[in-house]
Amino acid sequence: MPREFDQKTIASINSMARQFSDATILMHEAIAREVGLSGTDHKYLGILIQQGEMTAGELARFTGLTTGAVTGLIDRFEKKGLVSRRFDKEDRRKVVIVPDTEKANSLLRGIFSQIQTKTLDMLSNFNEQELTIIERYLTAAIAMMKETTTQLNENAKNTTL
């Protein structure tokens, strides 16, 4: 049976979560514009760097984007020198997308250095117990969002079949 919550507190948390999400999107749009990318391209570049080299098909499956959208994304990254295409050594029909992590980091380093400093300053206002709670919340929220994303991607895939 679900736990009872104070509805005013839940409404406040939901409102703050929406504001946090909006502020995150707007900040990343501004960061992207600063370096000549779109907000979504900036985030997909981050995913590609975190996940490492992969085929366009793998990137499409990972992101839920169509293969056509991924091709356009890769083309834009390649024009900026942020990725290169390389034939798979075992199956030359496959093209592997290789992120240029050094170039991407140098492009974004200044901005993220400032953000990291501000984040550490902000976190210094919390004690260890509070930081543990924040970490626990973020871990659970990320898991819930990944699960929701997987379900929605599966629903979309099943709808198009």
Residue-wise pLDDT tens digits, 56-96: 889 988 888 888 999 999 999 999 999 999 988 888 888 89
Q: Mean pLDDT for the chain?
A: 91
pLDDT tens track for 106-119? 988 989 999 999 99
**Is 160's pLDDT higher than 70?**
no
| 63: CB partners within 8 A, 6+ apart | 44, 47, 70
Q: What is the CATH number of domain 7-125?
A: 1.10.10.10
Domain boundaries, the chain: 7-125
pLDDT tens track for 105-156? 998 898 999 999 999 999 999 999 999 999 999 999 999 999 998 898 888 7
Both tokens assigned to 106: 């140098």
Containing 95, the helix (H) or strand (E) segment is strand 95-99
State residue 161's pLDDT score. 60
